[in-house]
Chains A and B, each alone.
Chain A
Amino acid sequence: AQSVTQPDIHITVSEGASLELRCNYSYGATPYLFWYVQSPGQGLQLLLKYFSGDTLVQGIKGFEAEFKRSQSSFNLRKPSVHWSDAAEYFCAVEAAGNKLTFGGGTRVLVKP
């Protein structure tokens, strides 16, 4: 069965600093991978997705992610964090049956 692990429950970063959120997946086939962001009390917004092709994927809000098959990872990065980036971030993998399996999430706090 597929699974997604986000090792960091919380990350605190200063505004303007870089951010990297880790995501490791376990899936037998070629994965479809996603990163979502959730603000408090809200639904999920898609940041970016990887299906195939270039392993470096650009998303919205200045985010990017790199798929590394050898490490089963799909880490999310942003060069310079803004206070509005404080939120919960979820990595997800699409499995058979077109279902999404989510990681546990990483809460990002931004210090002024």
Chain B
Amino acid sequence: GAVVSQHPSWVICKSGTSVKIECRSLDFQATTMFWYRQFPKQSLMLMATSNEGSKATYEQGVEKDKFLINHASLTLSTLTVTSAHPEDSSFYICSASSRAWGYTFGSGTRLTVV
């Protein structure tokens, strides 16, 4: 089946630094990738949608300059949290979409900003 690898699974960073999260589709090409944020005991909130080679589309209220998304190939998308602050601490999940497999989710990244 389809597998999406998300790395790292957890990261701790200092306030003011930037953190990059990678999302790779291992055995299929993803036409679209999605980035979600999940607060403890809450649902997933879509942050942005990205298509290979084009700019990401951000949901209302999501700061595009803080959450930089790059979708350089059909198998790789990255989310960079710039100048991270404690309020950015959260669980981030990516999802890759393909016609064959539908939506496949990564295992998530726990970001803690101290």
Answer whether A and B are interacting partners: yes
The residues of A with any CB-CB pair to B shorter than 8 Å are 34, 36, 41-46, 49, 90, 97-105, 107
B110 lies within 8 A of A41 (CB): yes
Chain A interface helix/strand/loop/mixed: strand
**Chain B residues positioned under 8 Å from A43 (CB to CB):** 4, 6, 93, 105-108
A90 lies within 8 A of B49 (CB): no
CA distance A33 to B110 in the complex (A): 27
With contacts A43-B105, A43-B108 taken as known, whether A98 is within 8 angstroms of B44 at the C-beta atoms is no
With contacts A97-B49, A98-B32, A105-B43 taken as known, whether A44 is within 8 angstroms of B97 at the C-beta atoms is no
A–B complex contacts, Cβ < 8 Å, 15 sampled: A42-B107, A43-B107, A44-B44, A45-B105, A46-B104, A49-B102, A90-B43, A99-B46, A100-B34, A100-B46, A100-B95, A100-B103, A102-B43, A103-B43, A105-B42
**Chain B residues positioned under 8 Å from A36 (CB to CB):** 105
Chain B interface helix/strand/loop/mixed: strand
The residues of B with any CB-CB pair to A shorter than 8 Å are 4, 6, 32, 34, 41-44, 46, 49, 91, 93, 95, 97, 102-108, 110
**Chain A residues positioned under 8 Å from B105 (CB to CB):** 36, 43-45
**Chain A residues positioned under 8 Å from B49 (CB to CB):** 97, 99
**Chain B residues positioned under 8 Å from A90 (CB to CB):** 43-44
B43 lies within 8 A of A99 (CB): no
Chain B minimum-CB-distance residue to A105? B43
**Chain A residues positioned under 8 Å from B107 (CB to CB):** 42-43
**Chain A residues positioned under 8 Å from B4 (CB to CB):** 43
Q: Which of B44, B93, B103, B110 contacts A46 (CB 8 A)?
A: B103
Please provide the 8 A-B residue pairs with the shortest distance between their CB atoms, ordered closest to farther: A43-B105, A44-B105, A43-B107, A102-B43, A104-B43, A43-B108, A102-B44, A105-B43
**Chain A residues positioned under 8 Å from B97 (CB to CB):** 98
**Chain B residues positioned under 8 Å from A103 (CB to CB):** 43
